[in-house]
Structure 1
């Protein structure tokens, strides 16, 4: 029997979203989170890294601001999560997202480089303390501790493509999948990329069976909230404007590296099996 991931989400009282960096919660799942919180669902967020390796939009930081980038990005994610209505946010490796008896640990941003347009790969300078180099079991144990603390009805995370192949996103998928298996918590995977033409139900175009396909849903009325959340990340992107007829496709943005992108107001989900 095929289980509708949206039914699981609609029936959930508490949802835990798992992301890799500050801004991912807004860019990948902003509309989904805004829709959930507006309907009264409690959403908590855990972020694996502090985004230390991110480039900075020229002029986004005042010359007299000497804070390290991770502190600036912490202020940005605080602003964004408040805008989205997220009830609590956590850093992986910091209690309560820390395995019992473990010393606090920092999972550093692994960095990335573009392999081709729209596809990222590992950075040549990734260090041993990065999220992708530290032992997978450490991160899994930390996320298990948080799941047992929060007791979400479902966990929302990346699919195995990690949205655009960023190594930290792919690692976050593996960590979330393992932690959900260990705790018996349903995991809903967010589709990488945009919805295919006419995809209001199951999308079998990727060669998967109907049970493995994504189901898509629009999130009307979330655009302004998502736009304000995206605007919180001044160091990382610029909001260009609206996209699509009657602003329905999403918010057009330009990343710090000059790449144009879309923050969608539609989400594809599937239940990880």
Structure 2
């Protein structure tokens, strides 16, 4: 039965080294920022692996909007992520394709944001013009082996990522689910899906005590969102409350 859990040392079956797999900078804070901050403060050594640098993300209107579609957006988003992780207290981070998240013997590589479009049902669908360097254009075995290397080297005792629909459907999110779940299966460790609503089988993390850290980390992602009171305002104007609890379902 779902329960509101306040002690981070009890989360994820009390396993200390949980690997979080996210598609783009900002996803980690929006979906799991409070949990990451709590685990880090409790000395539980969370690891974040970010699959792309969000090269194709939209940009909030204002002084930064000229970055949309520009090469420099990736650099800015990397710096935003670095700042956000500092706010959350997370020290262990890697981009997929770069050691320690690169299979042994292979040169470093960059997996680019695959892009997306909004479908008629309001969910994201694949963009028709994903580049050859896009995450979803790579043979799946390559990013899979990279993520497996990251998990093995980190001593991951569990893996967290999106549900099989990728949350809102972005192709990079959907691939993140498949890669993360396959790695958990290969290493025989539990896999938890990020859930939007509690269910009888879910565990609910009360992150109220770390809300200030989560909010500060959200503000760091200034190209992607703004914080208005207790809400996140996304590029397209969509609003959502900053989550005071975060929900995970063991698959």
Q: What's 1:234 paired with? A: 222
Equivalences for residues 168-247 of structure 1 within 5 A: 168-191=172-195, 193=196, 195=197, 199=198, 202-203=199-200, 213-242=201-230
Return the offset for 1:67: 6.8
Rounded to whole Å, the distance in 2 between the matches of 1:94 and 1:185 is 23
**Does the CA-based 8 Å contact 1:31-1:222 persist in structure 2?**
yes
Return the offset for 1:36: 1.4
Runs of 4+ in 1 over 4 A off after TM superposition: none
Rounded to whole Å, the distance in 1 between the matches of 2:236 and 2:114 is 17
1:99-124 deviations in Å (ceiling 9; x for gaps): 11112221110111111465211112
Q: Secondary structure at the match of 1:221?
A: helix
**Does the CA-based 8 Å contact 2:65-2:223 persist in structure 1?**
no
Q: Secondary structure at the match of 2:242?
A: strand
**Does the CA-based 8 Å contact 2:125-2:171 persist in structure 1?**
yes
| Shift in CA distance, 270/127, structure 1 to aligned 2, threshold 3 Å | same
| Shift in CA distance, 54/62, structure 1 to aligned 2, threshold 3 Å | closer
| Shift in CA distance, 261/124, structure 1 to aligned 2, threshold 3 Å | farther
Return the offset for 1:8: 5.9
Return the offset for 1:59: 2.6
Q: What's 1:23 paired with? A: 26
Which of 95, 98, 120 pairs up with 2:124?
120
Q: What's 2:245 paired with? A: 266
Return the offset for 1:220: 2.1
Quote the RMSD (CA, aligned, Å): 2.2
**Does the CA-based 8 Å contact 1:83-1:228 persist in structure 2?**
yes
**Does the CA-based 8 Å contact 1:98-1:141 persist in structure 2?**
yes
Return the offset for 1:81: 0.6
Rounded to whole Å, the distance in 1 between the matches of 2:66 and 2:218 is 23
TM-score with structure 2 length normalisation? 0.89
Rounded to whole Å, the distance in 2 between the matches of 1:23 and 1:15 is 19
Q: Which has the higher contact order (CA 8 A, sep 6+)?
A: 2
| Shift in CA distance, 226/256, structure 1 to aligned 2, threshold 3 Å | same
| Shift in CA distance, 60/163, structure 1 to aligned 2, threshold 3 Å | farther
Consecutive unaligned residues in structure 2, runs of 5 or more: none
Q: For this pair of structures, how many residues does the alignment match? A: 243
Consecutive unaligned residues in structure 1, runs of 5 or more: 204-212, 243-251
Which of 33, 48, 51 pairs up with 2:51?
48
**Does the CA-based 8 Å contact 2:49-2:94 persist in structure 1?**
yes
